[in-house]
Chains A and B, each alone.
Chain A
Amino acid sequence: MIKLARRRFLRSAAGGALALPLLSEVGGPARAASPFPKRLIICFSPNGTIPTAWVPRATTPELVLGDIMAPLAPHKNDLIIVDNLTMTAALRAAGGDAHGLGVGCLLTGIEPLAGNQFAAGMGGPGSGWPGGISVDQLIADRIGKTTKFPSLEYTTKRMAGNIWSRISYRGAAMPVTPMDSPADAFDRVFAGDLGDPAAVIRRKAQRKSILDNSLREFDALRRTLGKVDRDKVDLHISALRDIESRLDIPGAGSASSQCKKPARSILTGSKEPTYYLANEKTEANNDLDIPERHQTIREMLVTALACDLTRVASIILAPSRSPIAMSWLGIQEAHHAISHTANVAALIKINQFYAQEIAKLISDLKSMREGAGTVFDNTLIVWCNELGVGNSHSHDHIPFMLAGSAGGFFKTGRSITAPAGTSHNDLLISICQAMGLADVATFGNPKYCKGPLAGLTG
């Protein structure tokens, strides 16, 4: 009955009246301590770090953060800095670009598929898409069954889909597309279920009937296809089944104090000039609105979590090989280009910007009351990167940072240095366990797994 009570509380906090049958999973040491759901947010920033400015200056008697982490100082007791993890899967991959391999292995923990779709290896072939499900998606499959959205993915920069621009995967070669348009993201997450209740019910019935029709046609089609095409169609089919299974879950209801809709942003996808139709317009694309994109994405995400519309999310703060030039900081050259120069001062500034955005995310989550505490108490933020050092494309010393205890699972306010040779897979295992997936003993390629990372919980 704890579960039902929790759900009732959430729905009532959300201003909605519907109490739903509960299917959510129970697990994790902290579960009994909190009647609230755990949430996971992955934050990705690219192109490696400056290790000397990233590692803490001191760890005892208390944590003293490095230059890059300075904006996070107000939250330092909520952090765990995890150093010395190696992305073994990226190192062992048969081919592929170092950035792409880093992104592809980061949340999947497994080598990408063989192939040549994504160019440039060390004299060898390129790589295919990443080779397995990403940690956020596995967790969403387990803890996101009852929410309106299994997970929500955001990016601040619209990029064509490839191994550099997609961090989440439903499975091998199944990239998850992040939302790049704040306006569309608002409409998708917050605009549902408005209007005349009878019309809402009718629309649901019609949607179901059309989805059934499409699924029947897809099922007939897939039987005529070879395996390659069938796999492609199956991905589409599973997306449709997921939509169908969530039709009856209420969306964001009317606002209440805790679950208050953010303002709808007018920003759309920060896109290339559109050349569809006969529309030959060109438009300026200065990325000057990127800070505003960060802000509006953060507001929407925090609200979606507080309203329990989803429990798993990711934000691509900037894509791998980021073409964004942070001109608002006085930096005219793109992050990726600078990462291959000796301009350490600019790189620290760029990474401080990412740290600042995460600090704001933490503050916003802390401002959302939940029971006697805040939403942040039940949240885990994972800040990650595809490389250790950008210029040398290294896959060791990947800068991982955790923020939040995931409902008391992790003991924060510390820095740990993993034993030499530890694969980042072990951190992925720890993340699963922190989110209540106590049975996850390996993640990604089991060859690289020793078990949950020591020193995070005790």
Chain B
Amino acid sequence: MRTMPAGVAASLWALGAMSACTGVIESRSPTGPSDLGATNPGRSDVAKGAGGAGGISNPAAASRGAVPTACSAAPDPGRSPLRRLNLMEYLNTVADLFGTAAATQVADSFPPDEEGGGFSNNADALVVTGLLAGKYMDVSEKLAAVVAARPGTVVPCDPVQMGETACATRFVDSFGKRAFRRPLSAAERTQYLAFFTEGRKAGMFADGVELALQAFLQSPHFLYRVEAGGTPLPGGTGAVASVAPYEMASRLSYAFWGSMPDDRLFAAAGAGTLSTAAGIEAEARRMLDPNDPKTKRTVAGFHREWFAIGGVSAIAKDPVVYPTWSPSLRNDLRVEIETFIDQVFWTDGRLETLLSAPYSYLNGALAKHYGVVAPTDNGFVRVALDPMQRAGLLTNGALLSLAAKPDQTSPVHRGKFVREQLLCQQLPSPPALDPPIMAPIVSATASTRERFAQHTQPACAACHQLMDPIGFGFENYDAVGRWRTQDGKFNVDASGEVVATTGADGKFTGTVELAKRLGASVDARNCVTTQVFRYAAGRAETAGDACTIERMRKRLDETSHDMRELWVAVASSDAFRFRSVTGGGQ
């Protein structure tokens, strides 16, 4: 746990941090074993708050400085909780098993997943209650009926030519291996063949297939990623085991594709090439392919959740203040930001570029919105922007609109976005003040900055000085992301200040300067590292993961901060190659 340099903390106190808000910054929504009501002695969340009043922690930076002591000789995989397929993984897996059309038919049937730590694949959050359990049953029946109507999808033989029993056995073996993502045991083969027989008795061959499919799709070995194989590490305490080859194939496929292994991963598992770091890295590099739509979809999903882009589709603006706002514009903005992130990640990959690129991807409507020369093409094309006005993600219209109010900008929300999303810091809730402080109302007689002046009162300042001075630097962008030099009748003052970071502190003017400074900051590098870890591991980091995260961070530094390398690095990390024999704990 790293706390703020004393000088910075002291300056917070000087601002009156003691009254209602202690000024503690925590890591963003980490989850740990305690979240399910259990404790896990010996492993504490790295990410837990400092606890002591006045401390500012930046747990995402726990591994900063590459302290060599974090990596001992013995691998430490942290926790290895049992992971249920989340909705996206379930549907992707169904698509790989039965085809996209089948998956699309059932895609709208499910309740949304539980989320933890900002991601929808957090193992500690994902549970199954009555509604979902019933859905699994209903959907398995629906899918089985659809698939059994054209059994060629799953039955690799002709029951007339081969004989029904022999063909049914082949179906159970081949489909079972794909559904459970490992070969069936002899007992399982008998068990699922019995379902075929039961269904066949009541109808045709296809009815046997249908019933067996229903049973496969309701098995825990399909719905969860069960990890029971592997062997305890020699010379260890028995608490850490290797990951069995087929289970490793699933770790890789769900990390990179959000779906089941392909034939090549199954073959690699069968051949034993997934038991070395080199073998795993080779597969990771194969999958990290800009031409692989499954990987692109997963990477896009990671960034969508990290930067909370899902919220863009629900943005509403006041039609009087922003008459050009429309659902169509909103959709264009969302396409723009997703395209921008996608292009930066796959063609460049550097964190600095994400936060400094003087270009974006616009269609005609967006070009008009931003007031730049319209692209001739109807679709989204790369457009150079004024480098004095635009610098990558933070000057993107979708995020500027998201972190704003319906009728005005919001320095608070923009500062909060930087703290929480980009620096992985967690801000405290507003205090319960009496009388309450009301958010300023748009007024012709005061600039935005003046209206938020109330936040410099001691009770507010402890937290708001972490947000507002950053947010003031965004005042050149209105609440729908357009460049402006006037805020009502006032000239925009976009001067701001960053405090409580590692190496990015100081005064600045405008978001371009801010973004470039943050893009080169230690905190942002630690944040992206930690986020990739959380997404790939499906959980918050623990103390045991310090070495894994340190090595990932080292890889980032050694590759000019190429974010793609983090995906390779996490795949060959301790947390990925090994597992705790107690899974999620105790």
Mutual binders A and B: yes
- Taking a contact as CB atoms under 8 Å apart, the answer to whether B21 and A213 are in contact is no
Q: With the chains together, A287 CA to B36 CA distance in Å? A: 33
- Report which of A114, A211, A269, A323 forms a contact with B112, defined as CB distance below 8 A: A269
Per-residue CB contact flags for chain B residues 412-438 toward chain A (1 = under 8 Å, else 0) read 000000000000001111111110101
Are A120 and B428 CB-contacts (below 8 A) given A170-B129, A227-B38? yes
Interface positions of B from 133 to 174, Cβ below 8 Å from A:
133-134, 137-138
Is the C-beta of B221 less than 8 angstroms from some C-beta in chain A? yes
State whether A284 and B327 are in contact (beta carbons under 8 Å apart), knowing that A123-B21, A176-B129 are contacts in the complex: yes
Cα A271 to Cα B110 with chains together (Å): 11
Which among B133, B138, B431 is the interface contact of A240 at CB below 8 angstroms? B133
Please tell me which one of the listed residues B33, B104, B427 contacts residue A279 in the complex, with CB atoms under 8 A apart.
B104
Whether the pair B316, A120 counts as a contact (CB closer than 8 A) is no
Contact residues in B for A333 (Cβ distance below 8 Å): 316, 318, 405-407
A176 touches B131 (CB 8 A): yes
* A210 surroundings in chain B (CB, below 8 A): 137, 195, 211, 214-215, 218
User: Residue B108 contacts which of A211, A213, A269 (CB distance < 8 angstroms)?
Assistant: A269
Contact of A161 among B33, B115, B407 (CB under 8 A): B115
B36 contacts A173, C-beta separation under 8 Å: yes
Residues on A with beta carbons closer than 8 Å to the beta carbon of B441: 341-342
A226, A233, A242, A340: the one contacting B130 at CB < 8 Å is A242
For A214, what are the chain B residues with a Cβ–Cβ distance below 8 Å? Answer: 215, 218-220
Q: Is B20 located at the chain interface by the 8 A CB criterion?
A: yes
Q: In the bound complex, do residue B112 and residue A117 qualify as a contact, i.e. CB atoms below 8 Å apart?
A: no
When distances are taken between beta carbons in the complex, the residues of chain A under 8 Å from B84 are 232
Interface of A is mostly: loop
In the assembled complex, which residues on chain B have CB atoms less than 8 Å from the CB atom of A287?
314
Complex partner residue of A394 from B130, B226, B432, CB under 8 angstroms: B432
**A235-B128, A239-B128, A393-B432 given; A276·B91 CB < 8 A:** yes
Q: Write the chain B residue with the least CB distance to A162.
A: B115
Of A115, A176, A221, A325, the residue contacting B35 (CB under 8 A) is: A115
Given known contacts A284-B327, A285-B313, is B129 in contact with A239 (CB within 8 Å)?
Answer: yes
Q: When A225-B82, A268-B108 are in contact, do A235 and B37 touch as well, CB less than 8 Å? A: no
* Contact of A292 with B by CB under 8 A: no
Q: Could you tell me if B114 and A160 are in contact, using CB atoms closer than 8 angstroms?
A: yes
Q: Which residues of B contact A285 (CB under 8 A)?
A: 313-314
Contact, CB under 8 Å: A129 / B191:
no
Residues on B with C-beta less than 8 A from A113 are 34-37
Q: What does the 1/0 interface line of A370-406 toward B look like (CB < 8 Å)? A: 0000000000000000000101111000000000000
Query: A4 within 8 Å of B by Cβ?
Result: no
Contact between chains at B100 and A275 (CB < 8 Å): no
Answer yes or no: A367 CB below 8 A from chain B CBs.
no
A159 within 8 A of B: yes
Determine the distance from Cα of A240 to Cα of B82 in the docked complex, in whole angstroms.
Answer: 18
User: Nearest residue in A to B439 (C-beta to C-beta)?
Assistant: A341
| Residue among B49, B293, B583, B586 making CB contact with A116, cutoff 8 Å | B49
Binds A, one of B119-127, B271-279, B497-505, B511-519: B119-127
Q: Write the A108-139 contact mask toward B (1 if CB under 8 angstroms, else 0).
A: 00000111111111111110110100000000
Q: How many Å lie between the Cα of A231 and that of B131 in the bound state?
A: 18
Q: Contact at A239–B130, with CB atoms within 8 Å?
A: yes
* A202 interface hit (Cβ, 8 Å): yes
**Beta-carbon contacts of B194-216 to A below 8 Å, as 1s and 0s?**
01001100100000000100110
- For the complex with contacts A129-B36, A209-B198, A226-B585, 13 further pairs of A-B residues with Cβ separation under 8 Å are A115-B36, A117-B30, A120-B427, A160-B115, A161-B112, A188-B138, A213-B191, A213-B215, A228-B36, A229-B81, A285-B313, A287-B314, A333-B405
User: Can you list 27 A-B contacts (CB < 8 A)?
Assistant: A98-B432, A114-B34, A116-B32, A116-B45, A119-B28, A122-B429, A125-B26, A159-B112, A160-B120, A206-B214, A210-B195, A210-B214, A221-B224, A224-B228, A226-B584, A228-B40, A229-B81, A236-B133, A271-B108, A276-B87, A276-B88, A285-B314, A325-B316, A327-B316, A332-B319, A332-B407, A389-B436
Using CB atoms and an 8 Å cutoff, list the residues of chain B in contact with chain A. 20-24, 26-38, 40, 45, 47-49, 51, 53, 81-82, 84, 87-88, 91-92, 95, 100, 103-104, 107-109, 111-117, 120, 124-125, 127-134, 137-138, 191, 195, 198-199, 202, 211, 214-215, 218-221, 224, 226, 228, 293, 297, 300-301, 304, 310-311, 313-314, 316-319, 327, 330-331, 334-335, 405-407, 426-434, 436, 438-439, 441, 540, 582-586
Instruction: List the interface of chain A (C-beta within 8 A of B).
Output: 95, 97-98, 113-126, 128-129, 131, 150, 153, 158-162, 170, 172-181, 184, 188, 202, 206-207, 209-211, 213-214, 217-218, 221, 224-229, 231-233, 235-236, 239-240, 242-243, 268-269, 271-279, 282-287, 323, 325, 327, 332-334, 337, 340-342, 389, 391-394
